[in-house]
Amino acid sequence: MKKILMLIAVLGLSACGFQPKGSSGTFSTLPYQAWHVDGGQLQQALENALRNADGRPVDVPQAQATITVTNIETRKDIYTITRAAEINEFLLILRVEAQASRNGVPLGAPMVVLVHRPMEYADSEVLGKQEEEATIWAEMRTDAAEQIVRRMAFLKAR
């Protein structure tokens, strides 16, 4: 009986499209395969996300299209405080604006990606917080780049 219930649970989860976090990696096909990336701080993250989506970052002469990051904003806001008026958590916010284009003609509307993560804080644990914050920012840049590439898959090839 337990085996039958387990089988039903597994089939039910697979039928609804459930996938463990980090195992998806599947992107829709990109409208162009050769992209020139002008990403600033997101350059490496965008190139990696393109490779994962079966695209390839190339130089301008070989590029079929270009993705340009037009604006990157970072903010670190106080998220929660304790009753003693001490900071308990920060909220790290990354806002990225990007535009895909072909031969200087924009492909679709500009893309705006907003990524935010909370970061716990304690005055007694200051030493490792700078490294933790740098790691969180790097993960946020990777997440933003993957979101941009996923949105590029829905652009129409002209």
Q: What is the pLDDT of residue 87?
A: 87
Query: For residues 48 and 33, what is the distance between their CA atoms, to the nearest angstrom?
Result: 14
The CATH number of whichever domain residue 113 belongs to comes to 3.30.160.150
pTM of the model: 0.77
DSSP conformation class of 64:
S
pLDDT score recorded for residue 116 = 96
The C-alpha atoms of residue 136 and residue 38 are separated, in whole angstroms, by 23
Helix (H/G/I), strand (E/B), else coil: 95: strand
pLDDT value for 70: 94
pLDDT at 28: 62
Give rounded-to-5 percent helix, strand, coil for the chain: 35, 35, 30
Q: How many helices (H) and strands (E) are present in the chain, helices listed first? A: 3, 6
Residue 113 located in a structural domain? yes
- Domain containing 38 equals 29-152
The reply to whether 158 falls in a domain is no
Q: What is the CA radius of gyration of the chain?
A: 20
Q: Do the domain assignments include residue 96?
A: yes
State how many domains the chain has: 1
Say if CB 67 and CB 35 are below 8 A apart. Answer: yes
The whole-number pLDDT of residue 12 equals 74
Selection from 98, 97, 99, 95 nearest residue 137 by Cα: 95
The one-digit pLDDT tens for each residue of the chain (158 residues) are 888 878 787 777 666 665 555 545 545 678 788 888 888 889 999 999 998 888 888 888 888 999 999 999 999 999 998 898 888 899 999 999 999 999 889 988 999 999 999 999 887 777 788 899 999 999 999 999 999 999 988 876 54
Widest distance between CA atoms in the chain? 63
Domain assignment present for 21 = no
- Residue pair 115/83 in contact (Cβ under 8 Å)? The answer is no
